[in-house]
C-alpha cells in the first residue's frame, strides 16, 4: 500500500513543500502554504486526456456557436456583455449573505423560462431550502432542475443524463473529487474539481457558473489557478447593511471589464437599478455643511455620490480618522494637503468621512470633493446645493484633470445641477451648466466662500495665502528686490547692510 503523507501547498502558485515555511519558495508570497494530504490516485487516463481535438484553419472556425445567451437579468447581461456564452465557465465571488445564490437563482429561472434547460447543483443547502427561496423569488420553472450533490463524478453523471445548457455549482469549495485524498475546499480539491467542470463545459458547449467563497481579505478562496482556468470572474460586492449591490467583471474573455451592474436587494429578490444616481441622492439633506456631490465613474457608468464629512474637536493625543467608502490613506493625504497648502489644520480634530449609500470610491477624481467637504465641515460653510465638485488633488495643492469629465458633467446636468468646480483645462460643460475652473485648492475653497486661512470669506480677519503673496509682491515693487533676501528673509530694507539691524 502506497504511503500517505502530508505536504504544504501554496494557494497562489501551487508549489509544494515537505514542511511549512512562512514564505513560498516558488512565488515568494508570505503565509500562503496550507497543509494537504498527498495520496496516490488511480485516475483513468481517458478521463484526464479526453477526446483529441482536430486542428482546423482559423478562418473556418464557426464563431456563431459561441454567441452569448441573455440571462434575462439586464444588469447581469450588461456586465457579461450580453449573457452567458456556451462552453464558458464563470466564477462568481462575494461575501457570505451578499446575495450570490439569489442572483444566480433569478438568472437561471429566467433562462429556464425562455426555454433553456438548467441544472442547479447546491452543495451547501438542501432541496427544500432552495425551493423556498425559489418560491419567494417566483423562480419555479419546470425546465429548472435541482440537485444537492457534493461529488463531482455524480454531478457530471447528472449532466450526462439531463444534457443541460447551463450548469450552476454552488459552491466550488464544497464539492470534491473522490480520487483526491484531501478534504473539500483544499487547494488540490478545488483545482481538480474546477478542472473537471471546465472540461465538461468545453466538451459539451455548456455554460457553467461556479460560486466561490472569499477570504477575510476579500480575495477568492482557493488557489490562484482557479481564476486562471475560468473564462470570467465576477465580483459581487456591497454593504450588507445597505440595499445596494455592485457586480463587476474582474476578468472576462468575451468582452470588456469596465461594465458595472447595480442591484437593490428587495423582499422579492434583487432588482436592477437603472438610475443609481437618483437612488444615491434621494435622501440628501440640503444646506448642510460638510456635504459635497461628486460625479464618479464606476466602470463606464457615471454616478453622482454624496460625500459627507464631520469634523469635531478632539482631546485625544491621536485624533480619530475614520473613512467609510473612501480610502483611509487618501483621507490622510488630503488632510495633510489642506493643512499645508490651505492652512486648515486638523491636528486637534476628529475627522469622519463617508461615501453615502454603501458605495466604495477609490478613484483620485473624488479628491477635490472630499477636501471641500472636509473644509466645509471644519468652517461650517455649506457647499451650494446646485454644485458638483470633480478633480484630482496633488501634493502641491494643484487640481489635476480627470478622465471622462464630459460624461461626469453630463450626468450632473441631467439631474439638475447647474454649477461645477472642475480643473482649469476641463472640457466645456453641457448647456445649462456653468463651469468654475480652478487650478489650486485655494481657488476651489474661495469658490465656496472659504479663504485659505481657514475663515469664512465673509468674516475673515486674516489674509489668505493668495492675498499675502500679493502683498509681498507689492512691497517688493515699492522697496526693491532687497526686501526679499537670499535666505527668504522679508524684513530687510533695500539699503540695510548685511550685518545691520532688521527693519521692522
> Per-residue pLDDT for 219 more than 70?
yes
Residue 51 has pLDDT above 80, yes or no: no
Identify the helix (H) or strand (E) that includes residue 388. strand 387-389
Sign of torsion, CA 131 135 138 141?
A: positive
Give pLDDT, residue 452.
64
Give per-residue pLDDT as tens, 6-27: 788 787 777 778 888 888 888 8
Highest mean pLDDT among 91-100, 386-395, 477-486: 386-395
Per the listing, cell 419546470 goes with 142
Domain borders along the chain are 5-38, 68-274, 278-459, 463-504
Over residues 342-363, mean pLDDT: 92
DSSP 183: P
Q: State the pLDDT at residue 37.
A: 67
What's the average model confidence in pLDDT over 300-313?
94
Q: What per-residue confidence (pLDDT) applies to 360?
A: 86
Asked whether the predicted pLDDT for residue 472 surpasses 60, the reply is no
> Is a pLDDT exceeding 70 seen at residue 335?
yes
Among the residue ranges 97-106, 276-285, 309-318, 434-443, the one predicted with the least confidence is: 276-285
| CATH number given to 278-459 | 3.30.230.10
Mean pLDDT of 396-421: 95
- Helices vs strands, H then E, count in the chain: 13, 21
Of 47-51, 135-139, 167-171, 483-487, least confident by mean pLDDT is 483-487
What local confidence, expressed as pLDDT, does residue 483 receive?
43
Residue 325, helix vs strand vs coil: coil
pLDDT of residue 458: 41
In this structure, what C-alpha cell is assigned to residue 319? 485624533
- Examine the pLDDT at 2 and tell me if it is beyond 70: no
SS3 content of the chain, % helix, strand, coil (to 5): 30, 25, 45
Query: Which band of pLDDT confidence, cut at 50, 70 and 90, is reported for residue 33?
Result: confident
Phi, psi of 124 (to 5 degrees): -120, -25
Q: What average pLDDT score do residues 94-118 get?
A: 94
269-272 and 260-266: which strand pairing? Answer: antiparallel
Q: Give which of 202, 208, 198, 197 is closest to 156, Cα–Cα.
A: 197
Long-range contacts formed by 125-129: CB under 8 A, 24+ apart: 125/101, 125/170
On the question of pLDDT at 500 being above 70, the answer is: no
Mean pLDDT across 407-433: 95
Q: How far apart are CA 429 and CA 432, in angstroms?
A: 8
- Asked which of 123-127, 326-330, 353-357, 481-485 is least confident by mean pLDDT, the reply is 481-485
Helix (H) or strand (E) holding 248: strand 244-252
Look-up of cell digits 469664512: 456
Q: Return the CATH architecture of domain 68-274.
A: 3-Layer(aba) Sandwich (3.40)
> For the segment 366-407, what is each residue's pLDDT rounded down to a tens digit?
999 999 999 999 999 999 999 999 999 999 999 999 999 999
> How many CA atoms, within 13 angstroms, populate the side-chain half-sphere of residue 192?
22
**Closest to 404 measured CA to CA, from 392, 386, 415, 394:** 392
pLDDT score, position 466: 45
Average pLDDT estimate for 453-478: 47
Q: Any alpha helices (H) in 64-221, and if so which ranges?
A: 74-80, 100-113, 127-136, 152-162, 187-204
Mean pLDDT, the chain, rounded, equals 85
- Per-residue pLDDT for 485 more than 60? no
Yes or no: say if 18 and 8 are a contact pair by the CB < 8 Å rule: yes
Amino acid at each position: 500500500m502506497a504511503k500517505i503523507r502530508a505536504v504544504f501547498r501554496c494557494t497562489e502558485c501551487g508549489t509544494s513543500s515537505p514542511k511549512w515555511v512562512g514564505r513560498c519558495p516558488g512565488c515568494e508570497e508570505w503565509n500562503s502554504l496550507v497543509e494537504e494530504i498527498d495520496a496516490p490516485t488511480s485516475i483513468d487516463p481517458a478521463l484526464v486526456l479526453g477526446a483529441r481535438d482536430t486542428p482546423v484553419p482559423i478562418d473556418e472556425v464557426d464563431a456563431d456557436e459561441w454567441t452569448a445567451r441573455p440571462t434575462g437579468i439586464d444588469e447581469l447581461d450588461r456586465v457579461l456583455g450580453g449573457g452567458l456564452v456556451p462552453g464558458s465557465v464563470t466564477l462568481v465571488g462575494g461575501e457570505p449573505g451578499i446575495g450570490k445564490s439569489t442572483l444566480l437563482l433569478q438568472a437561471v429561472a429566467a433562462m429556464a423560462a425562455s426555454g433553456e434547460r438548467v441544472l442547479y447543483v447546491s452543495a451547501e443547502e438542501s432541496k427544500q431550502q432552495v425551493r423556498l427561496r425559489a418560491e419567494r423569488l417566483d423562480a419555479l420553472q419546470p425546465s429548472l432542475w435541482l440537485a444537492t450533490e457534493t461529488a463531482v463524478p455524480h454531478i457530471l453523471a447528472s449532466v450526462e443524463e439531463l444534457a443541460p445548457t447551463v450548469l450552476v455549482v454552488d459552491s466550488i469549495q464544497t464539492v470534491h473529487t473522490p480520487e483526491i485524498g484531501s478534504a473539500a475546499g483544499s487547494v488540490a480539491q478545488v483545482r481538480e474539481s474546477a478542472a473537471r467542470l471546465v472540461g465538461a463545459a468545453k466538451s459539451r458547449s455548456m455554460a457553467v457558473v461556479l460560486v466561490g467563497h472569499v477570504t477575510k481579505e476579500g480575495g477568492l478562496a482557493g488557489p490562484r489557478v482557479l481564476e486562471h482556468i475560468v473564462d470570467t470572474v465576477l465580483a459581487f460586492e456591497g454593504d450588507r447593511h445597505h440595499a445596494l449591490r455592485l457586480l463587476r467583471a474582474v476578468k472576462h474573455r468575451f468582452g470588456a471589464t469596465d461594465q458595472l451592474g447595480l442591484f437593490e436587494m428587495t423582499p422579492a429578490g434583487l432588482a436592477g437599478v437603472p438610475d443609481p444616481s437618483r437612488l444615491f441622492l434621494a435622501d440628501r439633506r440640503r444646506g448642510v455643511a460638510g456635504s459635497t456631490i461628486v460625479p464618479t465613474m464606476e466602470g463606464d457608468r457615471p454616478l453622482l455620490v454624496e460625500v459627507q464629512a464631520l469634523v469635531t474637536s478632539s482631546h485625544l493625543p491621536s485624533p480619530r480618522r475614520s473613512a467609510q467608502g473612501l480610502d483611509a490613506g487618501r483621507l490622510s493625504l488630503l488632510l495633510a494637503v489642506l493643512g499645508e497648502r490651505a492652512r486648515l489644520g486638523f491636528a486637534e480634530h476628529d475627522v469622519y468621512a463617508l461615501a453615502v449609500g454603501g458605495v466604495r470610491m477609490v478613484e483620485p477624481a473624488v479628491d477635490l470633493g472630499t477636501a471641500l467637504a472636509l473644509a466645509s465641515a471644519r468652517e461650517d460653510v455649506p457647499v451650494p446645493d446646485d454644485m458638483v465638485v470633480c478633480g484630482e488633488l496633488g501634493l502641491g495643492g494643484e487640481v489635476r484633470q480627470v478622465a471622462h469629465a464630459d460624461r461626469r458633467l453630463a450626468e450632473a446636468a441631467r439631474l439638475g445641477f447647474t454649477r461645477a468646480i472642475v480643473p482649469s483645462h476641463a472640457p466645456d460643460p453641457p448647456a445649462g451648466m456653468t463651469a468654475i475652473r480652478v487650478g489650486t485648492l485655494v481657488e476651489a475653497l474661495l469658490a465656496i466662500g472659504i479663504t485659505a486661512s481657514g475663515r469664512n470669506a465673509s468674516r475673515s480677519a486674516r489674509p489668505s495665502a493668495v492675498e499675502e503673496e500679493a502683498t509681498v509682491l507689492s512691497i517688493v515693487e515699492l522697496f526693491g528686490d532687497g526686501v526679499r533676501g537670499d535666505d527668504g528673509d522679508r524684513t530687510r530694507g533695500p539699503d540695510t547692510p548685511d550685518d545691520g539691524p532688521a527693519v521692522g
